Each structure stands twice: as C-alpha cells, then as structure tokens.
Structure 1
C-alpha cells in the first residue's frame, strides 16, 4: 500500500480532496508529532488517524469507548481493504490470541481497543512487543471530569505518553469548550501537541426549538410532516419515558425501539444493530445512546426533554446528518424541564463548585432556548466561534420571533408568587392570577389576595410562557422539595420596584417549513420525483449486498454516493472512479452490481 496520504485518500477511501485541516493534521502525525483535534461530527475525524496509520510503519491503535460500535467501525474499514480488527470482552480466547498474533507480526493496519482493556498490564505488555505506528484517542472529551460523558478509565491514558514517548498520539473529539480542551491537554499529557480547532458549524442541520404544548402530538406532527420513513433519534430524560414514547410511536406506525441502561446488554445490542442495519428505525433513548454512532443517514434528532448543557445538545444533535445532507434538530421545551433539571442539580451530592459549573451550563442551554436571535450564532458563540448573525437555517431566522414589553404582567406574576407565600408551583399561581377558584385556591384563602384575578385577561398558556421565561432568566427559582415551589430571587427587586423593564419573546406556533416539506418524498434526501424509482432501485441493491455480508447498508455506500451515482450515471468501472466515496476495493466488489442496476433504468 502507498505511503502517500493523497493516494491513500483516493484509492482506499475514494475521495479526491482533503477537507479543511485534515491534510495538516495527517502530516503532523506522519511526521511523528502529537495533535489535539476538535472537529464536528461528520467532519472527517476518522480519516485524520486512519490515513496516518496506513502511511506510517506499524499498527494504529485506536482507543474507543464503546465496545458495541467497534465491530461496525472495523467492518467499514475491511470493506475498504484495510486490515482492521478489535480487542474487547466480547471475543472468545482463541479469537483474542489470533488477533494478538496478527498484531505482533505487523499484519494489522488498525486495532481498536476499549480504554479499560488498554490500561491493563497484560495489554500494555503486548503493546511493548508490537510495532506501533500511532495512538488515536477517540471521544477524548470523556477525560473531562466536568463533562457529561466522563469515563474514569480515560484518566489513566496518560500512561501512553509515559510508556511510549516516541509514538505520536492524536486525541479527537467533536465537543469541547475551552475548559474541556485544557483538561484534555493536561490529563493526557498533550502539552506539546499542536491543536486543530475547526469550525463547530454544521450548516446542513436545521435547528428548531418549540414551546411544549402537547409534546407527543407535536413530535408526531413533526415526524409525519417531515420524516415519515427516516432514521432518527428521540432523546428523553428518563428510562420510563423512553419506554412509553417508544411504544406509543410504534402504535402510531413508526419503527421505534427503546434504548437505555435498564435494558439488558443483549437488548441494547439488538436495538442498536437494528438502528444501524435497517432503514427508517427510530431509537428512543436516554443519553446512554449515541456516542460514536457512525450511521451517516440519521435525518433527525428530536429532544422531548431539555439537555443539561450546550455541550450535550451539540453532541446529541450532531448525530444527525453526518453525510452532510439536510437534517433537523428539533426540540420541545417547557417550564417543567427547567424546574426538573434545576431540582436535580440542586439536590445532587456534588460539590458546590461542580453545582455552580452545572448551573452555568444549564443557564447557557436556557439562553439558547429563549433567544430571539439566530440559534446557530448563539450556539457557535458558546464555543468561542464567530459567525454571521443570521444563518438562514434555524427557526428564528426562518420565522423571526417578536418580543413584547412584559414588565406589567411580570410584576403581576412576581407579586402573586410573593403573596401566595412562595410555597406553590406554577399551576396554582396561574389559577390565582386568572381568578380560578379551585379547591386548592379556596382552601388556602387565596381568593382574598389582591392578585386574585388580576391576570384573567391572559390565557393559562400565556402565563405559562411568562413563568417559563422568568425561571429561565433566573428571576424565579424552583424549590428542590419536589413540588417545584416558585421563589423570588434577587434579580426581581428592580422589576418589582419599577426600576427596570423586561421584554420577553412572544411564543408563536412552530413554523411550517415549506422547504422541509418539499424535500421529503418517500423518505429520500433531496431526490427529484422523476428519479425516485431509480433511487429505490439503488437502495435495494445496496441493502441486498449489505444483508449478504451482515453489515449496515451505509458501509457499502453512503446516501451521498448513491445520489452521485444517480446524477452522473457512470457506464463503466472507470467512470465510477470519479464518484466520491468509491475506492478501489469497493469498486472491485460492488461496481458491476451497481452498473447493472444503472444500466437497467
């Protein structure tokens, strides 16, 4: 095999040119120097260590945190003619022994190892005797003790620098703010590593956040209107909600499966394999699902509960559209999300410093939800990246959000919280404001309050919007007693005294995105009507080849490659070399099969 990076890119991976800083990163590693790579999901991180592993003498050792995904990563490389394998606890002893012998003989190009296995003395002794070309530490943000994906085994990976100082290392992640980057450098001994921080922007993802009214029905409307047959992920906060939503979606005609830590390992593996290998499967999941998912054709990620941080939101939504085709990040968000997360944080046993950090992260997440500015601009600014003030592909750009002077209603709301004793949740306070003489209002004598009925000209939905924004803005806090009793904070004083005014966003119905409706035809990504039959024929061919080998369809060809085949209609194997994503190994294996389909259309 050639040692020239450009030739490897062309002949093995089937791409004509490097993207962004890929070539610089690859040259750094081939030269034997360390690197820290921050690149968005779908930006081509894997090539940054796979090509140097093929170009350098020795084996590339890849530290990967999820055993379940190693098989698919290795299968994809084998399709390209790359000698790849993995070592993890799923293998029988004879298989482990055979792989170890291939490693020692230099008969592997890449070997994937879980961090907990790599740091064992037996594995390190094995690596001492092996010809190693580089170490790649994937999902490097897992080393951060402040992060939502912290893995204790990652802390021990500094041993790679201590034990193998001459072997280049590359740490890669899609999600890391400045603080997390500093932790990665410190904990992995990457002080002298060159840092490559590429744009966090995912322009193909449309960001949309809507206020919860009836979240399930809103999700159902979104799916049926825009993604009726697409693969996607729906995130929920609790295991119970995951189960109920998965069952409900299945009853509504969708191919939905649950995924959470309460399932058996076998169930999780079965559901994950269905998601990866079948078309149009929706996984309803807790945050236990998703890290390292390589499926390129996830067309949407939906949140029915608020993520705890912008890092979590960015990483989870980033699992959509890895193939750079149009995709959607949709979320329904409401007051109870804010209250629930703040109660969980305040009631945890974490240190005060950790709680402060978590509150700051949640506040940034709330700011994204409540902003009237461009979502993408706000999101990228959090990661320290400048961007245009209008992206044209988020809900606030497509349908600008109006604001209104809410000072007087806000004063009413705050006064009512105070006069009811700061002991009640939002529903009761709204009943008092609207003059609804419920049993609870009567039992507490709140119909005699001066605030009883002063807000009857506004609907409960309007008041709920006001309270949501007051809690999100830190003017009200929710008690951790489990009942969400609202309490005033110091920020209220200027408003109650009349020394300050407050503008709030005017909630509007979720925009009807015409472009989204128009692009959805039979679950296809931007396929014109007259090419749908040809598109389905190519997909059927891909599915047949994938089933024969027991691999996901995208391992054969990505959707983007099928679209390119439709566009260019190659008539020979030589013509197919010009199609992005078709290297020599895939051309030899699958070229004739796809040419036959194209010739019959």
Structure 2
C-alpha cells in the first residue's frame, strides 16, 4: 500500500479525518501548489480545511481575512487544540499582546494568522506583510465584497491590493452564499479572473425546511421547540430589536433558556450573550440579522424565523447556521402577508437608488415565492442558485404533501376587486369589500357600490389573504409605490383574469405531522447513558480550558464513540475527529468514561 499524500497525512493526524469530502482534495492540491481559487461551498461543507491544510503544507504563514472577531477566536481556539501555531490580530488584544503576535508573525513562528479586512489594508500591516513570509491569503466570507449583497463590507473592496503587492502568493476566496451575479462581482473586485472556480452543491441535506403561515407566531414557535427541540441550542431570527427583546423574555417565561442579541444592546451584554450561546448547551439565541455571520457553533439544532427574510440569500445563509456538524437540524419559519408589506415599505423608503431597489424587490418576490411554493422547498432554493435537483423527502411539502385546492375563480375576483377599488388599497380593505363588510373605510370610499362588493362571502378571510399572497408571489400584483400597503395589478394579471393560468392554494391544516425517522437520540438506554456521560466529561474539560465544548470534540465524534465503543488508543484514533494531539491530550479521559459504561 502506498503512503498517503502529505495532505491526507495532515488531514488524518492533525484534524482527525480519514478522507476529504467533495472537492476539498482538489482545492487543497490546487492552492498548495500555488494556484488561486474561488470556492463556493455550503455552510458546514468544510471550507476552513480548504485553506488550513494548504497553509500547513506551504512554507510561511497563511493569512486569513475574516470579518468577525468571534469567528477568529473560535478558529484559533480550535487550531491550538490541534497543536497548530495560530493567532489573531483584532481589537480584543491590548498593545503588548498585539506586538507579540506581530513579532511571532514576522519571525515565522505562526502557521495561520487571522486578521480583519480593515487592519489588513493599513500601511502598518502592509509593512508587516512585506517583512513576513506569507504562504497564502484566504479571504473568508468573500461575498461581503458585493455592493448588491446583504452583507456588504466596503473594506473588502480594498483587498484587490493583494493581487498587486503579492503576485506570487496564492489567494483563495471562500463563501457559502453567492448567486451568479455575486460570483462575478467577487471575481472582478478581488482580481480573481484567472482563479480556478470550485462550485459545490448548495444543498444541505441534513437541514429540514418547514414554512408555516403565521397565526400566533410565538405559540407556534414554542410548540415547535417543545415538540422537536427541547433542550437543544437554536437561533430565532426577528426583524426588529423590540421583537427580539420581547420574544426572548416571553420564551424565558415559558422556561426556555433564551437570550437576546441585537446591535442596539451595549457591547458588553451583547458579547456576554454571544459567549454564553457559543459555550453553553441548550441556549436559544433570539436575534436580529446582526447575529450569525462567523458563528462557528456546530451543534445548532434549529434556526427559526418569526419574520420573513429579505431574500433567499439571507434565508439560506441564516438557516445554514444550523447543523454545521452534519447531524439533523431544522429550518423553521412562520410568515404572513404583513411581513411582505413591511419589507416592501423598508425597500421603498430606503436611501438606495432605483436600480438597487429593483434588485431588492425581485429578491423579496423570490422569497415570497419560496414560502408559497407547493412543491419541494429544496428544489426551489437550489433552483434559485442555478442548481437542479429532485424532491428531497426532507421538507414539509415532501413529508406532508399539501392538498391543493383550485382557487382560480377566487383569483379573478381578487384581481377584479383591486381594479374596481382603484389599485391603491391594502389586503384588509379588499377582503372587507369582497366579503361585503360595511366597514367605516368601505363606506368612506363608497366601495359598497362597486361590482365586487360581497362577491366573496363564501370564502373566509385567511383564504382571501392566501389568494393575495399567491398573486403577489406569482407577480400578478405588486405593492403600490405610494406605500401604505396598497396593491396594484401588473401586466401578468391578465393570464389569471382570462383564466389562462390556474391558481392553486394548499388546504390549511392546524397541525403539521412529521413523517419519517428523526435522529433524536439512541434507542438503547445504555447508549443514552454513555452519550450523556461523554458530554458531561467534554463540558468539564472545556470549562477547565475556557473553550466551547465542541472545540474538544463535536457531537458527531461523541456519537461515533457511543456506536463504536473504542477500548484503546488505537481504536479511538479511528474515530472521525480524533487527531494525534487530541488523542494524546484527551484519550485517557474519554476511554475511562467508555470503560465505566461497558
């Protein structure tokens, strides 16, 4: 048998894995040989290894551009546990600590150095780069370079300087979220025209997508957590800071260990809550989108949205924070028509130019289309990113196929009502007209005299709202640019008015019944006891070293220990995630726990 390649040897003995996944091996070989690369790989797909392994293989230090302090801290903690000489430079270091890191960098004592983009382009750091031996540059979260994107960071634009100042040093740009336009922007702005592109599937098969219509959103969320994720770590996204605070407090009242996080909180409280979420188990973080990018916690078992995200890119990136360890996780969302109205008003009232507003409107329409989809959610998500797939069997529409009801005639009535009332009224008023309700507003505008007054008495209000959501999602209606939530018809309404295109709605059900197996634990009580004992020991070791528990070993590694029951160091070394350093450091601890439960 031939000896393993240097890359595979590093992967096994440093990181504890026996084989690369997907295109990891090709990426590592290409960058280690000095080539530039653009890598699109879903969250949890193993992007970090694509630059960490080449950095260890090449002479010099790999410099990693990272946008968030939390990510740097977690990555460096994990690398040090593996015995890798790694450090970061950011605002959490005092002057003496920063100088020591700079000295070690220039002296060639580091293999990986994490730095923020703002710092990298300063004259001081550019001088350090000229004096040090740089093995490669890795630009993480590279989609932040896109001015049209949801995470635009202007300082990323200055990273093109690396191509001019260090033409012989390979550069690898990585992201989990980029449509075709964003990809082209990354190539141009980061000067990666000659880079080899590695585009992996965007699919996250371990994520189960569920999207429900809002009724009582908090109660729906609580039911979901208690039924599916009691005691699990999770993230709940809300649109406003107030809603974050209120929801976190409400969940705590219901005995859920919940913490708030948003940009309006003082920095100390925000950092403390984030640290608690990362290091403790079973914490639910209720947050605005200010939270998440760069959070490297692998055991987030669910991501919930109480408000509609602005785009599928936002949704995909936010839900991607669940199940980074490859174990099952849920992406759950409750949405309603009011969400669409609010986000549209935010777009129209923003300071962006008309071209960007048009882009944002299209992205919101696609997001609404995903919510209203009656087919496989995964097919719709991957299709948005230009990837074809088949029905997944792991989303609400696949597990519990909706019964569809033909509402084509209702669509014609709904559109006619929009036209008869002047293309400027909101859904609540339109439903009153259709149902023949003499509200003060209906009387004020004499809409009891229009031909559509009372023609929809046989249909209840939730169904009419669903019809209008579908018509918005299908592009037959749009929000009136004058604001106030008014609807107006588009040219696309004609096919529905003529009856050329049908409109189907899902039959509403009060409860969603999951089908299929769920990896909720172990059937054997002895396995469950060992699992809990291993987790307890892991937590004790992590607390002793002031690191998150997953830095010691991830859940997937502990579960494999339960299944394999290794009896000595050699058998333990065959467990995925157990490298040489961790075997030496923790082997006896975990073997002792296993021995006690044999």
Q: TM-score range, shorter-chain basis?
A: over 0.9
Q: Match for residue 506 of structure 2?
A: 506
Q: Match for residue 281 of structure 1?
A: 283
Q: Secondary structure at the match of 2:593?
A: helix
TM-score, normalised to structure 2's length?
Answer: 0.96
Once the two structures are superposed, the pairs formed by residues 233-382 of structure 1 within 5 Å of their partners are: 233-382=235-384
Q: Secondary structure at the match of 1:302?
A: strand
Contact 1:303–1:332 (CA<8 Å) still a contact in 2?
yes
Once the two structures are superposed, the pairs formed by residues 191-230 of structure 1 within 5 Å of their partners are: 191-230=193-232
**1:190-248 CA distances to partner (integer Å, 9 max, x unpaired)?**
11111111111111111111111221111111111101111111111111111111111
Q: Match for residue 533 of structure 2?
A: 537
Are 1:6 and 2:5 matched, yes or no?
A: no
Q: Secondary structure at the match of 2:210?
A: strand
Determine the C-alpha separation between the residues in 1 that align with 2:182 and 2:53: 26
CA RMSD of aligned residues (A): 1.7
Q: Match for residue 439 of structure 1?
A: 440
Determine the C-alpha separation between the residues in 2 that align with 1:476 and 1:218: 29
**1:490-542 CA distances to partner (integer Å, 9 max, x unpaired)?**
3223433x3534322224325211446x543xxx5x66544221111111000
Contact 2:136–2:169 (CA<8 Å) still a contact in 1?
yes
Distance 1:383 1:493, change over 3 A: closer
Determine the C-alpha separation between the residues in 2 that align with 1:197 and 1:416: 47
Distance 1:14 1:196, change over 3 A: same
Determine the C-alpha separation between the residues in 2 that align with 1:369 and 1:385: 19
Determine the C-alpha separation between the residues in 2 that align with 1:503 and 1:599: 62
Contact 1:343–1:479 (CA<8 Å) still a contact in 2?
no
Distance 1:102 1:527, change over 3 A: farther
Deviation at 1:173, TM superposition (A): 0.6
Determine the C-alpha separation between the residues in 2 that align with 1:411 and 1:385: 34
Contact 2:408–2:499 (CA<8 Å) still a contact in 1?
no
Any unmatched runs of 5+ in structure 1?
none
Q: Match for residue 456 of structure 1?
A: 457
Determine the C-alpha separation between the residues in 2 that align with 1:408 and 1:18: 55
Determine the C-alpha separation between the residues in 2 that align with 1:193 and 1:87: 27
Q: Match for residue 143 of structure 1?
A: 145
Contact 2:261–2:291 (CA<8 Å) still a contact in 1?
yes
Any unmatched runs of 5+ in structure 2?
none
**1:73-121 CA distances to partner (integer Å, 9 max, x unpaired)?**
1111100001110001111111011111111111111100000011100
Q: Match for residue 126 of structure 1?
A: 128
Q: Match for residue 420 of structure 1?
A: 421
Moved more, 440-449 or 298-307: 440-449
Q: Secondary structure at the match of 1:539?
A: helix
Determine the C-alpha separation between the residues in 1 that align with 2:464 and 2:392: 31
Q: Secondary structure at the match of 1:85?
A: strand
TM-score, normalised to structure 1's length?
Answer: 0.95
Are 1:99 and 2:101 matched, yes or no?
A: yes
Determine the C-alpha separation between the residues in 1 that align with 2:524 and 2:26: 38
Determine the C-alpha separation between the residues in 2 that align with 1:361 and 1:79: 42
Deviation at 1:441, TM superposition (A): 3.1
Q: Match for residue 476 of structure 1?
A: 477
Moved more, 400-409 or 566-575: 400-409
Contact 1:230–1:279 (CA<8 Å) still a contact in 2?
yes
Deviation at 1:424, TM superposition (A): 2.8
